[in-house]
Amino acid sequence: MAHIANSRNSQLELFEPTGRVDKSQSKNGVGFSDPAFASNKTLPVHRWVPWIAGFSSDFVRDALSLYLNGEGTVLDPFSGVGTTLIESILQGFNVIGFEINPYAALACRVKVNAHQIGLNNLYSAIQGLKKFYKDKASSDYKPQSLPPEGFKTRAEFYSPKVLRKVLIIQDFISCVEDLMVRDLFRLAFASTMVRYSNYSYEPSLGRRASAGKEDILDFPVGEIILNKLIEMAEDIKWLEWKVPSSGATARIINASFFEHQAHIEPSSIDIIITSPPYLNNYHYNRNTRPQLYWLGYAETPRDLKTLEDSNFGKYWQTVRSQGRLELGFSLPGTDLEDNLDTLRALNVERGIYGGNGWANYAVSYFKDCYRFAQGISYVLKPGGKALVVIGNSILQGILIPTDYYFGKIAELIGLKLVDIHIPRETRVGNSIIQSAVRVTKAKASHQLYEAVVELEKP
Ligand SMILES: C[S@@+](CC[C@H](N)C(=O)[O-])C[C@H]1O[C@@H](n2cnc3c(N)ncnc32)[C@H](O)[C@@H]1O
CB distance 103 to ligand 1 below 6 Å: no
Among 122, 43, 81, 96, smallest CA distance to 291 is for 81
Per-residue model confidence (pLDDT) at position 425: 61
The rounded Å distance from CA 101 to ligand 1 centre is 8
Per-residue model confidence (pLDDT) at position 424: 65
Per-residue model confidence (pLDDT) at position 39: 64
Note the CATH architecture for domain 3-100+253-288+301-456: 3-Layer(aba) Sandwich (3.40)
pTM of the model: 0.90
Q: CA-to-CA distance for 87 and 71, rounded, in angstroms? A: 14
* CA 417 to chain CA centroid, nearest Å: 25
Q: Which atom of ligand 1 is nearest to the CA of 51?
A: 9
Per-residue model confidence (pLDDT) at position 18: 30
Q: CA-to-CA distance for 449 and 390, rounded, in angstroms? A: 9
CB distance 277 to ligand 1 below 6 Å: yes
What 3-state DSSP class applies to 207? strand
Q: CA-to-CA distance for 160 and 138, rounded, in angstroms? A: 15
What are the pLDDT tens digits along the chain (458 aa)?
A: 434 444 333 343 332 223 333 333 333 332 222 222 346 778 999 999 988 877 889 899 999 999 998 889 999 999 999 999 999 999 999 999 999 999 999 999 999 999 999 999 999 999 999 999 999 999 999 999 999 999 999 999 999 999 999 999 999 999 999 999 999 999 999 999 999 999 999 888 999 999 999 999 999 999 999 999 999 999 999 999 999 887 799 999 999 999 999 999 999 999 999 999 999 888 999 999 999 999 999 999 999 998 999 999 999 999 999 989 999 999 999 999 999 999 999 988 888 888 889 999 999 999 999 999 999 999 999 999 999 999 999 998 899 999 999 999 999 999 999 999 988 665 555 434 333 333 334 444 458 888 999 999 99
The rounded Å distance from CA 458 to ligand 1 centre is 26
Q: CA-to-CA distance for 369 and 274, rounded, in angstroms? A: 13
Best probe residue, ligand 1, of 13, 14, 79 (max atoms within 8 Å of C-beta): 79
Q: Is residue 391 within 8 Å of 18, Cβ to Cβ?
A: no
Per-residue model confidence (pLDDT) at position 213: 97
Q: How many helices (H) and strands (E) does the chain have?
A: 16, 14
CA atoms within 13 A of residue 224's CA, in its CB half-sphere: 20
The rounded Å distance from CA 412 to ligand 1 centre is 24
Q: State how far the alpha carbon of 307 is from the alpha carbons of 154, 198, 254, 284, 369, in Å.
A: 22, 25, 11, 10, 18
Closest residue by CA, ligand 1 atom 5: 80
CB distance 389 to ligand 1 below 6 Å: no
Q: CA-to-CA distance for 405 and 343, rounded, in angstroms? A: 16
Sorted by where each begins, the domain ranges of the chain are 3-100+253-288+301-456, 119-241
Per-residue model confidence (pLDDT) at position 446: 53
The rounded Å distance from CA 52 to ligand 1 centre is 9
What 3-state DSSP class applies to 393? strand
Identity at 310, one-letter amino acid code: S
Collect all residues with Cβ–Cβ distance below 8 Å to 22 and sequence separation of at least 6.
Answer: 3, 32, 33
Best probe residue, ligand 1, of 10, 16, 273, 312 (max atoms within 8 Å of C-beta): 312
